[in-house]
Amino acid sequence: MSKEGVIADVGRAAEAVSADEEAANPLHQIESLCMRCRENGTTRLLLTQIPHFREVVLMAFECPHCGEKNNEVQFAGQLQPHGCVYTLNVPEDALEVLNRQVVKSDSASIKVPELDFEVPPEAQRGTLSTVEGVLLRAADELQALQEERRKIDPKTAEALDHFLVNLNLCATGKKPFTFIVDDPAGNSFIENPFAPSPDPLLSVNFYNRTSEQQEALGFLPDNEQVAAEKSMDQTSPTSKERIRYVPAGTRREPHGSVGALAAHRAIAQGNSDEVAAALFKYSTPEEVMNFPATCGACAAKCETRMFVTNIPYFKEVIIMASTCDFCGYRNSEVKPGGSIPEKGKKITACILNKEDLSRDVIKSDSARVIVPELDLELAPGTLGGLVTTVEGLITTISENLKRVHGFSIGDSADEWKRAKWQDFDRRLRKILEVEEPWTLTLDDALANSFIAPTTEVIEEDNQLKFEEYERSFEQNEEFGLNDMDTSSADMAYN
C-alpha cells in the first residue's frame, strides 16, 4: 500500500472520528498491514460511547490471509484532571466479583500484589473485559512461549509454571487476591454494582500525576512541578530511608512529602473568569502581581497573575490565573493562605428552599461530601477542588456518577441495577427541586472548604452549623503532618 494511500486512509478515519456527535457514527474500514504475514488486512473503526462513561474508539483487525485477529479500545475523550487507582479485593469463590467489568486504557497498569504480578501499560492495549478475562488473557500470553522457554531456560520455565498455577487459581476464584488498576490518565474503571452507594470491596483513590507520568502521556510537564520533585529527591540519606507506600500514587515518596504537597494543593480549578467572578463579590484585591511563567501545555513564555484576597468568615486565599496567548491554554487555582489549621472542620448546611441552592461553596481536594438523604458519600479527592454553588455541586456529582458508573445504567445493565439508578436519579431531582428539606455536609480534615451564609452575620444563619474536631493519627499520617518539622522556619520568623 502506497504512502499516499495510507495518509488518505488516516485522513478518512480522522473525519469519521470527528463526525457530528448527534449523527449516527458509521463503521469505518481501513486497509492496513498485517504484522504477522505482511499482507494487507482490514481494520474496522467505530466511534461509540459507553453510556454515561467515556467516548471510545473500538478497533478490530482481521487478516484474511493468515487469520490474524486483534481488537482494542482507545479513548477519544480528554485526559482526566487526576490519575486514579482502583483497588478491588476479590474473596475466595466470589464468581460475581470476577465477572465485574473492567475498562483498561492504554496507560493503565494492572497489579496483583499477592502474586507479585504486574501487567505494564505496554503489555496490554486498551481493553473492555472482566477481572477474570484480564487474568486469563495474561495467563494465555505467558503460556504461549513456554515450550521454547523450557529448551533455553528450564529453571525460568519451571518457576513460570508454578506462577501460572497460582494465577489460574485466582482467575477461577479458588484463591483470594487483590486486583489493582493504576491509570495516570484517569480513564480506567472497575464496575461498582452497589453504586451510587460505596462498595465494601472496591476503593478508588485519585492522585496528581508526576512530571514523568505527564511526559509519558505526551504532555509537557510543569516546570514548577519538576523543580519541586528535584528538590524533593535531594533529601538527606536519613529521610530517604523513611519510605512509605502511598496507595493514591504510582511511585514511592519520602515520608511526609505527600502532606507538604497536600497542604498547598489548589482547592479549586476551573475557568479564570468564573473563579474571579465568584470571589470578587467578597472583596477587591489590593494588588495584582504579574510575573513571568512557562505554559504547561506548549512551554511558551506566558504571564501569571496573582493576588491575595479575604473571604469573610473563611480565610485568606491566594488566587492565581495563567493564560497562554500562543496556544490558548488557561489555568486558574485558589490556594489557601496561612498555616495548616490545627483542627479539621465539618460544615453542615440545611437546605430548606431554592434560595439555599444559590449558596456559594468552596470544596477542596481534601473534603468529604455527604448527603444523608441520598445515602451519598464522596471520598476526599473525588471531583477535585471546586468553586461553585450548592446546586452546581449536586449537579456536578450527578453528571460524574452517571459518567463513571455507566455500566449500571446502559443497555447491558441488569434490570435491578437500572431500577436502582432510576430511583437514585428520581431522588436527586427531588432534592434539586427542594420538595423536602435536605442536608449537605462538607467534612474537611484540612479545614479548606466553606459554605457561604445567606445573612450578613454568619452567626444569624441558623441553617449553617460549623464543627471543629481533632484529626486522627491516620488523617495526619495521610497528609504527612506527623513528621512535619517546622522548627527551623519558626526560628527564622522569631
Q: 96, exposed or middle or buried, with CB in 10 Å at 0-12, 13-18, 19+? A: exposed
The topology (CATH level 3) of 3-75 is N-terminal domain of TfIIb (2.20.25)
- Give residue 258's pLDDT: 31
pLDDT, tens digit, 9 for 90 and up, residues 48-59: 766 545 567 778
Taken in order 233, 239, 240, 242, the sign of the CA dihedral is: negative
- Pull the grid cell for residue 318: 491566594
CA pair distance 74, 320, nearest whole angstrom = 34
Nearest alpha-carbon partner for 188 in 119, 91, 106 = 106
Measured in residues, the chain has a length of: 494
CA pair distance 368, 289, nearest whole angstrom = 33
Q: Kindly tell me if the per-residue pLDDT of 264 is higher than 50.
A: no
Side-chain-side CA neighbours of residue 453 (13 Å):
16
CATH 2.60.120.1040 fits 344-478, yes or no: yes
Mean pLDDT (the chain, rounded): 75
Nearest alpha-carbon partner for 28 in 37, 19, 20 = 19
The topology (CATH level 3) of 83-191 is Jelly Rolls (2.60.120)
CA pair distance 21, 36, nearest whole angstrom = 35
SS3 content of the chain, % helix, strand, coil (to 5): 30, 30, 40
* Cβ-based neighbour number of residue 347 at 10 Å: 19
Side-chain-side CA neighbours of residue 161 (13 Å):
10
- Give residue 181's pLDDT: 93
Tell me if 83-191 shares its fold with 344-478. Answer: yes
pLDDT, tens digit, 9 for 90 and up, residues 392-438: 899 888 887 776 665 555 555 677 777 877 788 888 888 889 888 99
Q: How far is CA 220 from CA 216, 329, 467, in A?
A: 9, 12, 42
Domain boundaries along the sequence of the chain: 3-75, 83-191, 268-336, 344-478
Higher-scoring residue by pLDDT: 338, 108: 108
- CA–chain centroid gap for 98, Å, is 23
At residue 377's C-alpha, the angle toward residues 375 and 180, to 5°, is: 120
pLDDT, tens digit, 9 for 90 and up, residues 274-305: 544 544 444 444 567 888 888 766 777 888 88
pTM, two decimal places: 0.48
CA pair distance 494, 225, nearest whole angstrom = 30
Banded model confidence at residue 266, pLDDT cuts 50, 70, 90: very low
Question: What's the Rg (C-alpha) of the chain?
Answer: 26
Backbone angles phi, psi at 124, to 5 degrees: -135, 130
CA pair distance 144, 271, nearest whole angstrom = 51
Q: Kindly tell me if the per-residue pLDDT of 81 is higher than 90.
A: no
User: What architecture (CATH level 2) is domain 268-336?
Assistant: Single Sheet (2.20)
Pair 183, 105: CB distance under 8 Å = yes
Q: Tell me whether strands 69-75 and 83-90 are parallel, antiparallel or unpaired.
A: unpaired
